[in-house]
Amino acid sequence: MQIADRTVASFHYTLTGEDGQVIDSSRERGEPLAYLHGAGNIVPGLEKAMAGRSQGDAFKVTVEPQEGYGERHEEMIQVVPKSAFQGAPEPKPGMQFQGQGPQGPVMVVVTAVEGDQVTIDGNHPLAGKTLNFDIEVTEVREANEEELNHGHVHGAGGEHE
């Protein structure tokens, strides 16, 4: 069976950055990632490269930022007063917080703290980066009706509800 819309694909991956450093790997967790093809559950460039693949296929794919997590947007970087973090732990670089953006909740990362000013970045940490995937397809199957209705995989390697 080939990966196509309405199928569930499971795969192991190792993601490296432009410098060759490992960013993430399913192999370290010991369980492949499962996703519903055509539902936008993985970055577009990787989903396009997965189409037509079958169990046992192993390949490498490079995904440019516009087909990955998008370009970085400077307007997503803001300086806010430390008082905006009342009731939260003392902000330090690297900490993540959920903020409220124009389209709803946004994860932000504290990038700097200077006096009473905190710089936060709402860009995805991999925005603007070229992503290199080393893929091994471990399973391809038809999605069940519940998965199709919910738009994601249930069970091992997917969402658990």
Average pLDDT over the chain, rounded to an integer: 92
- For the stretch 85-122, pLDDT in tens is 888 889 999 999 887 777 778 889 999 999 999 999 99
- Radius of gyration of the chain, Cα coordinates, nearest whole angstrom: 19
Locate CATH 2.40.10.330 in the chain: 74-121
The topology (CATH level 3) of 2-69+127-150 is Chitinase A; domain 3 (3.10.50)
* Secondary structure (DSSP) of the chain: -B--TTEEEEEEEEEE-TTS-EEEEHHHHTS-EEEETTTT-S-HHHHHHHTT-BTT-EEEEEE-GGGTT----GGGEEEEEGGGGTTSPPP-TT-EEEEEETTEEEEEEEEEEETTEEEEE-S-TTTT--EEEEEEEEEEEEPPHHHHHHTS-BSTTSB--
- pLDDT per residue, tens digit, the chain (161 aa), is 999 999 999 999 999 999 999 999 999 888 999 999 999 999 999 999 999 999 999 999 999 999 999 999 999 999 999 998 888 889 999 999 887 777 778 889 999 999 999 999 999 999 999 999 999 999 999 999 999 999 999 865 555 44
Give me the count of residues in the chain.
161
pTM as predicted: 0.81
Q: Which CATH class is domain 74-121?
A: mainly beta
Locate CATH 3.10.50.40 in the chain: 2-69+127-150
pLDDT of residue 161: 42
